[in-house]
Structure 1
Protein backbone atom coordinates (compact mmCIF):
# COMPACT_ATOMS: atom_id res chain seq x y z
CA UNK A 1 0.00 0.00 0.00
CA UNK A 2 1.36 3.46 -0.95
CA UNK A 3 0.69 5.69 2.05
CA UNK A 4 3.37 8.30 1.41
CA UNK A 5 3.20 11.36 3.67
CA UNK A 6 0.56 9.90 5.97
CA UNK A 7 0.93 9.84 9.74
CA UNK A 8 0.78 6.03 9.70
CA UNK A 9 3.77 5.78 7.38
CA UNK A 10 5.76 8.23 9.44
CA UNK A 11 5.25 6.08 12.52
CA UNK A 12 6.22 2.88 10.71
CA UNK A 13 9.39 4.52 9.42
CA UNK A 14 10.40 5.21 13.04
CA UNK A 15 9.50 1.76 14.40
CA UNK A 16 11.40 -0.88 12.44
CA UNK A 17 9.84 -4.31 12.36
CA UNK A 18 12.02 -7.31 13.13
CA UNK A 19 11.62 -10.77 11.60
CA UNK A 20 9.56 -13.45 13.28
CA UNK A 21 11.29 -15.54 15.95
CA UNK A 22 13.05 -18.53 14.41
CA UNK A 23 14.17 -20.21 17.63
CA UNK A 24 12.91 -20.52 21.17
CA UNK A 25 9.22 -21.05 20.30
CA UNK A 26 8.28 -24.69 20.79
CA UNK A 27 6.06 -26.29 18.14
CA UNK A 28 6.60 -23.16 16.12
CA UNK A 29 4.54 -24.19 13.11
CA UNK A 30 1.48 -24.81 15.27
CA UNK A 31 2.09 -21.72 17.40
CA UNK A 32 1.96 -19.53 14.28
CA UNK A 33 -1.46 -20.95 13.42
CA UNK A 34 -2.87 -20.16 16.85
CA UNK A 35 -1.47 -16.64 17.38
CA UNK A 36 0.09 -13.71 15.57
CA UNK A 37 3.64 -12.84 16.63
CA UNK A 38 5.52 -9.62 15.84
CA UNK A 39 8.80 -8.06 16.97
CA UNK A 40 10.14 -4.51 16.64
CA UNK A 41 13.53 -2.88 17.14
CA UNK A 42 13.85 -0.23 19.83
CA UNK A 43 14.56 3.43 19.17
CA UNK A 44 18.29 4.22 18.95
CA UNK A 45 18.13 5.95 22.36
CA UNK A 46 17.07 2.68 23.97
CA UNK A 47 18.56 -0.11 21.86
CA UNK A 48 21.66 -0.35 24.05
CA UNK A 49 19.38 -1.82 26.71
CA UNK A 50 16.48 -3.29 24.72
CA UNK A 51 16.83 -6.10 22.19
CA UNK A 52 13.30 -5.69 20.86
CA UNK A 53 9.64 -5.28 21.68
CA UNK A 54 7.30 -8.17 20.99
CA UNK A 55 3.58 -8.69 20.73
CA UNK A 56 1.35 -11.74 20.63
CA UNK A 57 -2.29 -11.54 19.55
CA UNK A 58 -4.79 -14.39 19.43
CA UNK A 59 -8.45 -15.03 18.81
CA UNK A 60 -9.49 -18.47 19.97
CA UNK A 61 -13.12 -17.53 20.58
CA UNK A 62 -14.34 -20.58 18.67
CA UNK A 63 -11.41 -22.85 19.47
CA UNK A 64 -9.94 -24.76 22.36
CA UNK A 65 -7.32 -22.97 24.50
CA UNK A 66 -3.73 -23.39 23.32
CA UNK A 67 -0.72 -23.81 25.62
CA UNK A 68 2.06 -21.70 24.10
CA UNK A 69 5.54 -22.75 25.24
CA UNK A 70 8.99 -21.27 24.73
CA UNK A 71 12.59 -21.95 25.71
CA UNK A 72 13.48 -18.50 27.03
CA UNK A 73 16.66 -16.69 26.07
CA UNK A 74 18.97 -15.27 28.78
CA UNK A 75 16.96 -12.05 28.96
CA UNK A 76 14.68 -10.24 31.38
CA UNK A 77 11.25 -9.25 30.05
CA UNK A 78 8.64 -6.72 31.10
CA UNK A 79 5.28 -8.04 29.96
CA UNK A 80 2.12 -5.95 29.85
CA UNK A 81 -0.87 -8.24 30.21
CA UNK A 82 -4.43 -7.40 31.21
CA UNK A 83 -4.42 -10.40 33.53
CA UNK A 84 -1.35 -9.10 35.37
CA UNK A 85 1.66 -7.14 34.08
CA UNK A 86 4.99 -8.32 35.48
CA UNK A 87 8.76 -8.30 35.22
CA UNK A 88 9.85 -11.82 34.30
CA UNK A 89 13.24 -13.15 35.32
CA UNK A 90 14.89 -15.84 33.23
CA UNK A 91 13.01 -19.13 33.31
CA UNK A 92 15.49 -22.00 33.44
CA UNK A 93 13.00 -24.53 32.14
CA UNK A 94 10.32 -23.88 29.55
CA UNK A 95 7.91 -20.97 29.85
CA UNK A 96 4.21 -21.69 29.35
CA UNK A 97 1.27 -19.36 28.75
CA UNK A 98 -2.32 -20.48 28.15
CA UNK A 99 -3.94 -18.65 25.23
CA UNK A 100 -7.72 -18.63 25.47
CA UNK A 101 -10.63 -16.57 24.19
CA UNK A 102 -9.28 -13.37 22.61
CA UNK A 103 -6.41 -11.20 23.79
CA UNK A 104 -2.94 -9.79 23.39
CA UNK A 105 0.21 -9.15 25.38
CA UNK A 106 3.01 -6.63 24.82
CA UNK A 107 6.57 -7.36 25.92
CA UNK A 108 9.92 -5.63 26.29
CA UNK A 109 12.91 -7.92 25.89
CA UNK A 110 16.07 -6.53 27.49
CA UNK A 111 19.47 -7.46 26.16
CA UNK A 112 21.32 -9.99 28.35
CA UNK A 113 22.68 -8.14 31.36
CA UNK A 114 20.94 -4.90 30.41
CA UNK A 115 18.28 -5.00 33.12
CA UNK A 116 20.95 -4.79 35.83
CA UNK A 117 21.31 -0.96 35.73
CA UNK A 118 17.54 -0.60 36.16
CA UNK A 119 17.30 -3.22 38.92
CA UNK A 120 20.54 -2.22 40.69
CA UNK A 121 20.71 -5.65 42.36
CA UNK A 122 22.05 -9.09 41.56
CA UNK A 123 19.81 -10.20 38.66
CA UNK A 124 19.97 -13.85 39.77
CA UNK A 125 17.45 -12.78 42.45
CA UNK A 126 14.89 -12.73 39.61
CA UNK A 127 15.71 -16.11 38.07
CA UNK A 128 12.60 -18.30 37.87
CA UNK A 129 10.62 -15.48 39.51
CA UNK A 130 8.36 -12.57 38.62
CA UNK A 131 8.28 -9.10 40.13
CA UNK A 132 5.71 -6.34 40.14
CA UNK A 133 6.75 -3.56 37.76
CA UNK A 134 6.26 -0.83 40.37
CA UNK A 135 8.80 -2.52 42.62
CA UNK A 136 11.50 -1.35 40.20
CA UNK A 137 9.92 1.62 38.42
CA UNK A 138 7.91 4.39 40.13
CA UNK A 139 4.79 4.07 38.02
CA UNK A 140 1.05 3.59 38.11
CA UNK A 141 1.01 0.25 36.29
CA UNK A 142 -2.75 0.15 35.77
CA UNK A 143 -2.72 3.55 34.10
CA UNK A 144 0.14 2.56 31.78
CA UNK A 145 -1.60 -0.75 30.96
CA UNK A 146 -4.78 1.11 30.03
CA UNK A 147 -2.85 3.50 27.77
CA UNK A 148 -1.15 0.59 26.01
CA UNK A 149 -4.22 -1.57 25.48
CA UNK A 150 -6.36 1.35 24.32
CA UNK A 151 -4.20 1.30 21.20
CA UNK A 152 -4.59 -1.36 18.54
CA UNK A 153 -1.47 -0.56 16.50
CA UNK A 154 1.84 -1.92 17.75
CA UNK A 155 3.56 1.30 16.68
CA UNK A 156 1.30 3.35 18.95
CA UNK A 157 1.93 1.00 21.85
CA UNK A 158 5.69 1.24 21.32
CA UNK A 159 5.55 5.04 21.38
CA UNK A 160 3.75 4.95 24.75
CA UNK A 161 6.25 2.47 26.22
CA UNK A 162 9.28 4.36 24.90
CA UNK A 163 8.01 7.67 26.27
CA UNK A 164 7.83 5.98 29.67
CA UNK A 165 11.20 4.23 29.44
CA UNK A 166 13.09 7.33 28.34
CA UNK A 167 12.42 8.82 31.77
CA UNK A 168 14.30 5.96 33.41
CA UNK A 169 17.38 5.42 31.22
CA UNK A 170 20.43 4.64 33.40
CA UNK A 171 24.08 5.20 32.48
CA UNK A 172 25.44 2.78 29.88
CA UNK A 173 27.39 0.08 31.67
CA UNK A 174 30.36 -1.29 29.64
CA UNK A 175 29.84 -4.72 31.19
CA UNK A 176 26.63 -5.02 29.15
CA UNK A 177 28.50 -4.70 25.85
CA UNK A 178 31.12 -7.18 27.06
CA UNK A 179 28.50 -9.73 28.13
CA UNK A 180 26.67 -9.43 24.82
CA UNK A 181 29.87 -9.94 22.85
CA UNK A 182 30.35 -13.21 24.74
CA UNK A 183 26.75 -14.31 24.19
CA UNK A 184 26.86 -13.35 20.50
CA UNK A 185 29.94 -15.55 20.15
CA UNK A 186 28.14 -18.44 21.87
CA UNK A 187 25.23 -18.05 19.43
CA UNK A 188 27.45 -17.90 16.34
CA UNK A 189 30.11 -20.49 17.18
CA UNK A 190 28.71 -23.98 17.55
CA UNK A 191 32.15 -25.18 18.66
CA UNK A 192 31.64 -23.43 22.00
CA UNK A 193 30.43 -26.26 24.18
CA UNK A 194 32.15 -25.45 27.45
CA UNK A 195 32.86 -22.50 29.73
CA UNK A 196 36.59 -23.20 29.37
CA UNK A 197 36.35 -22.29 25.69
CA UNK A 198 34.88 -18.89 26.57
CA UNK A 199 37.58 -18.33 29.20
CA UNK A 200 40.22 -18.94 26.56
CA UNK A 201 38.58 -16.88 23.81
CA UNK A 202 37.96 -13.83 26.01
CA UNK A 203 40.99 -14.10 28.31
CA UNK A 204 38.90 -13.92 31.47
CA UNK A 205 39.15 -15.93 34.66
CA UNK A 206 36.52 -18.61 35.07
CA UNK A 207 35.32 -17.34 38.45
CA UNK A 208 35.19 -13.75 37.20
CA UNK A 209 33.09 -14.86 34.24
CA UNK A 210 30.71 -16.82 36.47
CA UNK A 211 30.34 -13.90 38.91
CA UNK A 212 29.68 -11.47 36.05
CA UNK A 213 26.97 -13.66 34.56
CA UNK A 214 25.33 -14.34 37.91
CA UNK A 215 25.19 -10.65 38.79
CA UNK A 216 24.20 -9.22 35.41
CA UNK A 217 22.50 -12.03 33.49
CA UNK A 218 21.02 -14.14 36.26
CA UNK A 219 22.22 -17.53 35.04
CA UNK A 220 25.58 -19.21 34.55
CA UNK A 221 27.56 -19.14 31.28
CA UNK A 222 27.18 -22.93 31.18
CA UNK A 223 23.39 -22.54 31.21
CA UNK A 224 23.59 -20.02 28.35
CA UNK A 225 25.66 -22.43 26.23
CA UNK A 226 23.25 -25.31 26.86
CA UNK A 227 20.20 -23.16 26.16
CA UNK A 228 21.45 -22.03 22.74
CA UNK A 229 22.40 -25.57 21.82
CA UNK A 230 18.92 -26.77 22.86
CA UNK A 231 17.42 -24.07 20.65
CA UNK A 232 19.34 -25.65 17.76
CA UNK A 233 18.04 -29.11 18.67
CA UNK A 234 14.40 -27.99 18.87
CA UNK A 235 14.72 -26.23 15.53
CA UNK A 236 16.25 -29.29 13.86
CA UNK A 237 13.53 -31.57 15.23
CA UNK A 238 10.91 -29.14 13.91
CA UNK A 239 12.41 -28.83 10.43
CA UNK A 240 13.97 -32.23 9.74
CA UNK A 241 11.98 -35.25 8.59
CA UNK A 242 14.28 -37.81 10.21
CA UNK A 243 16.53 -36.99 13.13
CA UNK A 244 19.50 -39.11 14.20
CA UNK A 245 19.56 -38.27 17.89
CA UNK A 246 22.83 -40.10 18.59
CA UNK A 247 24.64 -38.03 15.95
CA UNK A 248 22.92 -34.86 17.12
CA UNK A 249 24.02 -35.46 20.72
CA UNK A 250 27.66 -35.87 19.66
CA UNK A 251 27.46 -32.85 17.37
CA UNK A 252 26.28 -30.73 20.29
CA UNK A 253 29.17 -31.81 22.50
CA UNK A 254 27.50 -34.48 24.63
CA UNK A 255 29.58 -37.49 25.58
CA UNK A 256 26.65 -39.82 25.02
CA UNK A 257 23.03 -39.80 23.94
CA UNK A 258 21.75 -40.52 27.45
CA UNK A 259 23.02 -37.18 28.83
CA UNK A 260 21.55 -35.33 25.88
CA UNK A 261 18.14 -36.97 26.36
CA UNK A 262 18.24 -36.22 30.10
CA UNK A 263 18.97 -32.50 29.52
CA UNK A 264 16.31 -32.25 26.82
CA UNK A 265 13.66 -33.94 28.97
CA UNK A 266 14.53 -31.90 32.08
CA UNK A 267 14.06 -28.70 30.09
CA UNK A 268 11.17 -29.47 27.74
CA UNK A 269 9.38 -32.13 29.77
CA UNK A 270 9.50 -34.72 26.99
CA UNK A 271 12.19 -36.88 25.45
CA UNK A 272 13.31 -35.82 21.94
CA UNK A 273 11.29 -38.69 20.43
CA UNK A 274 8.19 -37.74 22.42
CA UNK A 275 8.56 -34.09 21.44
CA UNK A 276 8.92 -35.07 17.78
CA UNK A 277 5.53 -36.82 17.93
CA UNK A 278 3.84 -33.62 19.18
CA UNK A 279 4.83 -31.59 16.12
CA UNK A 280 4.43 -34.08 13.25
Structure 2
Protein backbone atom coordinates (compact mmCIF):
# COMPACT_ATOMS: atom_id res chain seq x y z
CA UNK A 1 0.00 0.00 0.00
CA UNK A 2 1.51 3.34 -1.12
CA UNK A 3 0.21 6.58 0.39
CA UNK A 4 1.17 10.10 -0.71
CA UNK A 5 2.03 12.77 1.88
CA UNK A 6 -0.03 15.95 2.23
CA UNK A 7 0.91 18.62 -0.30
CA UNK A 8 2.97 20.72 2.15
CA UNK A 9 5.21 17.71 2.89
CA UNK A 10 5.74 16.63 -0.74
CA UNK A 11 8.95 18.72 -1.09
CA UNK A 12 10.44 16.46 1.62
CA UNK A 13 8.59 13.12 1.46
CA UNK A 14 7.84 11.25 -1.77
CA UNK A 15 5.45 8.71 -0.30
CA UNK A 16 4.78 6.20 2.46
CA UNK A 17 4.67 2.45 1.90
CA UNK A 18 3.06 -0.02 4.30
CA UNK A 19 4.22 -3.64 4.04
CA UNK A 20 3.36 -6.67 6.13
CA UNK A 21 3.89 -10.40 5.95
CA UNK A 22 2.49 -13.28 7.95
CA UNK A 23 4.97 -15.77 6.51
CA UNK A 24 7.20 -17.59 8.99
CA UNK A 25 9.90 -18.67 6.56
CA UNK A 26 12.98 -16.67 5.65
CA UNK A 27 12.45 -14.11 2.87
CA UNK A 28 15.28 -12.61 0.82
CA UNK A 29 14.71 -9.03 -0.27
CA UNK A 30 16.67 -6.42 -2.20
CA UNK A 31 16.56 -2.63 -1.94
CA UNK A 32 18.12 -0.78 -4.86
CA UNK A 33 18.66 2.88 -5.54
CA UNK A 34 15.89 5.11 -6.83
CA UNK A 35 17.77 8.30 -5.94
CA UNK A 36 15.95 8.64 -2.62
CA UNK A 37 16.84 8.28 1.03
CA UNK A 38 14.39 6.97 3.60
CA UNK A 39 13.24 5.65 6.93
CA UNK A 40 12.10 2.13 7.83
CA UNK A 41 9.85 1.92 10.90
CA UNK A 42 8.87 -1.36 12.52
CA UNK A 43 7.96 -2.72 15.91
CA UNK A 44 8.48 -6.42 15.22
CA UNK A 45 10.84 -6.94 12.30
CA UNK A 46 13.76 -9.37 12.32
CA UNK A 47 15.76 -8.05 9.38
CA UNK A 48 19.36 -9.02 8.70
CA UNK A 49 21.95 -7.79 6.24
CA UNK A 50 22.87 -10.54 3.79
CA UNK A 51 26.55 -11.39 3.84
CA UNK A 52 27.44 -9.75 7.15
CA UNK A 53 24.45 -11.36 8.96
CA UNK A 54 24.14 -8.08 10.92
CA UNK A 55 20.81 -7.65 12.68
CA UNK A 56 19.22 -4.39 11.49
CA UNK A 57 17.74 -1.96 14.04
CA UNK A 58 13.96 -2.11 14.35
CA UNK A 59 13.86 1.38 12.84
CA UNK A 60 16.58 2.92 10.71
CA UNK A 61 17.42 5.59 8.17
CA UNK A 62 19.15 4.62 4.95
CA UNK A 63 21.37 6.97 2.98
CA UNK A 64 21.57 7.33 -0.79
CA UNK A 65 22.47 3.98 -2.34
CA UNK A 66 25.21 3.59 -4.92
CA UNK A 67 23.66 0.34 -6.13
CA UNK A 68 21.69 -2.16 -4.00
CA UNK A 69 21.56 -3.86 -0.60
CA UNK A 70 20.35 -7.38 0.17
CA UNK A 71 18.54 -8.35 3.36
CA UNK A 72 16.65 -11.33 4.70
CA UNK A 73 13.80 -11.41 7.19
CA UNK A 74 12.89 -14.08 9.72
CA UNK A 75 9.21 -14.48 10.50
CA UNK A 76 6.20 -12.14 10.20
CA UNK A 77 6.64 -8.38 10.12
CA UNK A 78 4.86 -5.10 9.49
CA UNK A 79 6.64 -1.90 8.56
CA UNK A 80 6.18 1.60 7.28
CA UNK A 81 8.75 2.88 4.79
CA UNK A 82 8.97 6.66 4.53
CA UNK A 83 10.58 7.44 1.19
CA UNK A 84 12.28 10.83 1.44
CA UNK A 85 13.22 13.33 -1.16
CA UNK A 86 17.00 12.73 -1.21
CA UNK A 87 18.00 15.89 0.68
CA UNK A 88 15.56 15.40 3.61
CA UNK A 89 17.91 12.96 5.36
CA UNK A 90 20.56 15.69 5.39
CA UNK A 91 18.19 17.84 7.46
CA UNK A 92 17.27 15.03 9.86
CA UNK A 93 20.71 13.63 10.69
CA UNK A 94 22.55 16.98 10.55
CA UNK A 95 25.36 15.54 8.45
CA UNK A 96 26.57 15.71 4.88
CA UNK A 97 24.61 13.24 2.76
CA UNK A 98 27.94 12.01 1.37
CA UNK A 99 28.95 10.87 4.88
CA UNK A 100 25.90 8.62 5.20
CA UNK A 101 25.84 7.31 1.62
CA UNK A 102 25.20 3.53 1.53
CA UNK A 103 24.77 3.61 5.32
CA UNK A 104 22.18 2.20 7.71
CA UNK A 105 21.68 4.51 10.70
CA UNK A 106 19.71 3.50 13.78
CA UNK A 107 16.92 5.99 14.50
CA UNK A 108 17.77 5.85 18.21
CA UNK A 109 21.33 6.99 17.51
CA UNK A 110 20.06 10.15 15.83
CA UNK A 111 16.67 11.07 17.27
CA UNK A 112 16.66 8.98 20.45
CA UNK A 113 13.05 8.10 21.39
CA UNK A 114 11.30 10.34 18.87
CA UNK A 115 9.93 7.40 16.88
CA UNK A 116 9.29 4.97 19.72
CA UNK A 117 5.54 5.59 19.81
CA UNK A 118 5.28 4.85 16.08
CA UNK A 119 7.12 1.56 16.57
CA UNK A 120 4.81 0.65 19.46
CA UNK A 121 1.73 1.48 17.39
CA UNK A 122 2.93 -0.81 14.60
CA UNK A 123 3.67 -3.54 17.14
CA UNK A 124 0.16 -3.13 18.61
CA UNK A 125 -1.41 -3.35 15.13
CA UNK A 126 -2.70 0.21 15.05
CA UNK A 127 -3.96 0.84 11.52
CA UNK A 128 -1.18 2.01 9.19
CA UNK A 129 -3.22 5.04 8.06
CA UNK A 130 -3.35 6.20 11.68
CA UNK A 131 0.42 5.73 12.05
CA UNK A 132 1.02 7.66 8.81
CA UNK A 133 -1.35 10.45 9.88
CA UNK A 134 0.67 10.85 13.11
CA UNK A 135 3.92 10.79 11.13
CA UNK A 136 2.60 13.63 8.96
CA UNK A 137 2.03 15.69 12.11
CA UNK A 138 5.51 14.83 13.41
CA UNK A 139 7.28 15.78 10.17
CA UNK A 140 5.24 18.97 9.80
CA UNK A 141 6.27 20.16 13.27
CA UNK A 142 9.91 19.23 12.57
CA UNK A 143 10.01 21.20 9.31
CA UNK A 144 8.44 24.25 10.96
CA UNK A 145 11.32 24.25 13.46
CA UNK A 146 13.96 24.01 10.75
CA UNK A 147 15.12 26.62 8.25
CA UNK A 148 14.61 24.88 4.92
CA UNK A 149 15.48 27.74 2.56
CA UNK A 150 18.86 26.17 1.76
CA UNK A 151 17.05 23.39 -0.10
CA UNK A 152 15.45 25.63 -2.73
CA UNK A 153 18.46 25.42 -5.05
CA UNK A 154 18.93 21.66 -4.88
CA UNK A 155 15.17 21.15 -5.28
CA UNK A 156 15.16 23.22 -8.48
CA UNK A 157 18.03 21.17 -9.97
CA UNK A 158 16.36 17.91 -8.95
CA UNK A 159 13.11 18.96 -10.66
CA UNK A 160 15.01 19.88 -13.80
CA UNK A 161 16.59 16.41 -13.93
CA UNK A 162 13.23 14.73 -13.27
CA UNK A 163 11.50 16.77 -15.97
CA UNK A 164 14.11 15.56 -18.46
CA UNK A 165 13.80 11.97 -17.20
CA UNK A 166 17.49 11.89 -16.36
CA UNK A 167 18.68 12.58 -19.90
CA UNK A 168 20.70 15.71 -19.14
CA UNK A 169 24.36 16.47 -19.72
CA UNK A 170 26.77 18.22 -17.37
CA UNK A 171 26.81 21.19 -19.75
CA UNK A 172 23.02 21.46 -19.66
CA UNK A 173 23.10 21.50 -15.86
CA UNK A 174 25.79 24.19 -15.91
CA UNK A 175 23.66 26.33 -18.23
CA UNK A 176 20.55 25.79 -16.10
CA UNK A 177 22.20 26.66 -12.78
CA UNK A 178 24.98 29.02 -13.78
CA UNK A 179 27.42 26.97 -11.69
CA UNK A 180 30.42 24.90 -12.71
CA UNK A 181 30.29 21.12 -12.77
CA UNK A 182 32.58 20.93 -9.71
CA UNK A 183 30.40 23.34 -7.71
CA UNK A 184 27.30 21.28 -8.53
CA UNK A 185 29.10 18.10 -7.46
CA UNK A 186 29.92 19.64 -4.07
CA UNK A 187 26.28 20.71 -3.61
CA UNK A 188 25.00 17.25 -4.53
CA UNK A 189 27.56 15.51 -2.30
CA UNK A 190 26.35 17.56 0.66
CA UNK A 191 22.59 17.42 0.09
CA UNK A 192 21.98 14.32 -2.05
CA UNK A 193 24.91 12.03 -1.27
CA UNK A 194 25.60 11.28 -4.94
CA UNK A 195 26.84 13.29 -7.92
CA UNK A 196 24.50 15.01 -10.42
CA UNK A 197 25.60 12.47 -13.04
CA UNK A 198 24.85 9.49 -10.79
CA UNK A 199 21.46 10.92 -9.82
CA UNK A 200 20.62 11.58 -13.48
CA UNK A 201 21.61 8.02 -14.41
CA UNK A 202 19.36 6.60 -11.67
CA UNK A 203 16.39 8.71 -12.81
CA UNK A 204 16.92 7.65 -16.42
CA UNK A 205 17.14 4.00 -15.34
CA UNK A 206 13.86 4.27 -13.42
CA UNK A 207 12.20 5.90 -16.41
CA UNK A 208 13.27 2.86 -18.42
CA UNK A 209 11.83 0.66 -15.63
CA UNK A 210 8.50 2.48 -15.83
CA UNK A 211 8.37 1.98 -19.61
CA UNK A 212 9.26 -1.68 -19.26
CA UNK A 213 6.60 -2.34 -16.60
CA UNK A 214 3.96 -0.32 -18.43
CA UNK A 215 4.46 -2.09 -21.74
CA UNK A 216 5.06 -5.50 -20.20
CA UNK A 217 8.14 -5.97 -22.36
CA UNK A 218 6.02 -6.39 -25.51
CA UNK A 219 8.43 -4.15 -27.37
CA UNK A 220 12.01 -5.18 -27.86
CA UNK A 221 14.71 -3.97 -25.51
CA UNK A 222 16.32 -1.76 -28.15
CA UNK A 223 13.13 0.27 -28.68
CA UNK A 224 12.52 0.71 -24.96
CA UNK A 225 16.12 1.70 -24.24
CA UNK A 226 16.05 4.23 -27.06
CA UNK A 227 12.80 5.75 -25.70
CA UNK A 228 14.49 6.10 -22.31
CA UNK A 229 17.42 8.00 -23.80
CA UNK A 230 19.99 5.20 -24.12
CA UNK A 231 21.93 5.08 -27.36
CA UNK A 232 23.85 1.92 -26.43
CA UNK A 233 21.88 -1.16 -25.34
CA UNK A 234 24.93 -2.81 -23.79
CA UNK A 235 25.45 0.32 -21.67
CA UNK A 236 21.85 0.06 -20.45
CA UNK A 237 22.21 -3.61 -19.49
CA UNK A 238 25.50 -2.96 -17.70
CA UNK A 239 24.04 0.00 -15.78
CA UNK A 240 20.90 -1.99 -14.95
CA UNK A 241 22.92 -4.87 -13.50
CA UNK A 242 25.18 -2.52 -11.53
CA UNK A 243 22.20 -0.78 -9.92
CA UNK A 244 19.64 -3.58 -9.61
CA UNK A 245 21.84 -6.67 -9.57
CA UNK A 246 19.65 -8.27 -12.25
CA UNK A 247 19.18 -8.03 -15.99
CA UNK A 248 16.02 -6.26 -17.23
CA UNK A 249 14.41 -9.62 -18.08
CA UNK A 250 15.26 -11.05 -14.66
CA UNK A 251 13.73 -8.00 -12.97
CA UNK A 252 10.56 -8.28 -15.03
CA UNK A 253 10.19 -11.94 -14.04
CA UNK A 254 10.49 -11.08 -10.34
CA UNK A 255 7.04 -11.87 -8.96
CA UNK A 256 6.91 -9.98 -5.68
CA UNK A 257 7.71 -6.32 -6.27
CA UNK A 258 6.86 -4.80 -2.90
CA UNK A 259 7.83 -1.41 -4.33
CA UNK A 260 9.46 -0.43 -7.59
CA UNK A 261 12.90 -0.63 -5.94
CA UNK A 262 12.16 -3.18 -3.20
CA UNK A 263 11.80 -6.75 -4.44
CA UNK A 264 11.73 -10.26 -3.07
CA UNK A 265 14.42 -12.48 -4.56
Q: TM-score, normalised by structure 2?
A: 0.76
- Superposed, 1:40-79 pairs within 5 Å as 40-42=4-6, 44=8, 46-60=9-23, 66-79=27-40
Q: Secondary structure at the match of 1:55?
A: strand
The answer to whether the Cα contact below 8 Å between 2:13 and 2:85 also exists between their aligned partners in 1 is yes
Offset from partner CA, 1:139-187 (integer Å, 9 cap, x none)? 2655552134324212321244345545644423223232222222222
In the other structure, the counterpart of 1:213 is 188
Structural mapping, 1:262-273, within 5 Å: 262-273=238-249
Distance in 1, matches of 2:15 and 2:251, equals: 29
Q: 1:264 to 1:273 in 2, by over 3 A?
A: same
Work out the CA distance in 1 between the residues paired with 2:5 and 2:64. 21
- Number of residue pairs matched by the alignment: 240
Return 5+ residue gaps in structure 1 as ranges.
1-36
Residue 236 of structure 2: aligned partner: 260
Indicate whether 1:223 and 2:198 are aligned.
yes
In the TM superposition, residue 86 of structure 1 has moved relative to its aligned partner by 0.8
* SS, match of residue 162 in structure 2: helix
**CA 241–54 in structure 1, closer or farther in 2 if over 3 Å, else same:** closer
Tell me, yes or no, if the aligned pair for 2:35 and 2:203 is still in contact at 8 Å. Answer: no
Q: What is the RMSD computed on CA atoms of the aligned residues?
A: 2.9
Q: Structure 2: give runs of 5+ residues left out of the alignment.
A: 46-57, 256-265
RCO higher in 1 or 2 (8 Å CA, sep ≥ 6)? 2
CA contact (8 A) 2:31 2:69 kept: yes
Which among 85, 104, 108 is matched to residue 134 of structure 1?
108
Pairwise CA distance, 1:278: 4.5
Q: Specify which of 87, 91, 99 is matched with residue 117 of structure 1.
A: 91
In 2 relative to 1, CA 203–222 (structure 1 residues): closer, same or farther, beyond 3 Å?
Answer: same
Between structure 1 and structure 2, the one with the greater Rg is: 1
